[in-house]
Amino acid sequence: MPKSVVPPEMKPEVDAIVEAIVYLYTESRRLTKEVASRHGLTGPQLTVVKMLETLGELSLSRLSEKIRAQNSTVTGIVDRMEREGLVARARSTVDRRVVQITLTRRGHELAREVKVEPIQIFREALVGLSRDDAKDLLRILTKLANRVRQMVDDTQTREEP
C-alpha cells in the first residue's frame, strides 16, 4: 500500500482520530477477552455465542462473514464449541451443502449468563450522542469504512498473480 502523506494542517486531527480508533478497537478486544474468560470462553467464542443468540441459526459461511473471519478459522472455533456442547451443526433442509450452526440449550444458558456484551458498552455510549451527532458519525464512519475497504481491495488486486 503506498504511503500517504498527511497534510501538516490535518496531522493533529488525523493522529487523534487514529488514536481514538485504535483505543476503541483495543478496548473492545480487551473487554471481550475479559468477559469471555470469566465464562470459560475465548473472545471469538463469546462473539459467536452472542451473535447466534441475537441472530439465531446461521450458516457457517454467513457466520464467517459476520465475524469477519475465514471459514477455516470459524470451523475451528465451531469445532471446539461443539465439543463443549455450546453449539450444534445441522445440514440445511433447503440446501444439503449448507451447514447451519445453532446454540444448544447449554449455549443459550451461557449466552443469558453473559450480561455485559462489550458491544453493548459502545451502544450505550452512542445513545449519549444527539441524533444529529449519531447521523453525522454514521455518515463519516461509513465513508471511512468504504474508503478502507476500497484501499484493501486495491492492495489485494495488485498483489494477486
What's the pLDDT tens digit per position in 31-53?
888 888 999 999 889 989 988 99
The pair phi, psi for residue 89, each rounded to 5°, is -105, 145
- Beta-sheet strand order (sheet of 99-103): 58-59, 99-103, 87-91
What is d(CA 49, CA 53) in angstroms, rounded to the nearest whole number?
6
Indicate if the pLDDT at residue 60 is higher than 80. Answer: yes
Return the higher-pLDDT residue of 93 and 128: 128
- Among residues 24, 21, 64, 20, which one has the least CA distance to residue 44? 64
Q: What confidence tier does 1 reach under pLDDT thresholds 50, 70, 90? A: very low
Candidates 57, 30, 61; CA nearest to 46 is 30
Pair 39, 46: CB distance under 8 Å: yes
Q: H-type helices in the chain, by residue range?
A: 11-38, 43-55, 60-66, 71-83, 105-113, 118-127, 131-159
Angle at 137 between CA 145 and CA 135, to 5 degrees: 120
Nearest CA-CA partner of 116 in 43, 36, 44 = 36
- What mean pLDDT do residues 4-33 have? 89
pLDDT digit string (tens) for 106-115? 999 999 988 7
Q: Enter the CATH code of domain 11-114.
A: 1.10.10.10
Query: For residues 82 and 49, what is the distance between their CA atoms, to the nearest angstrom?
Result: 12
Cell of 104: 444448544
Within 13 Å, how many C-alpha atoms sit on residue 96's CB side? 0
| C-alpha 17 chain-centroid distance | 20
**Average pLDDT of the chain?**
89
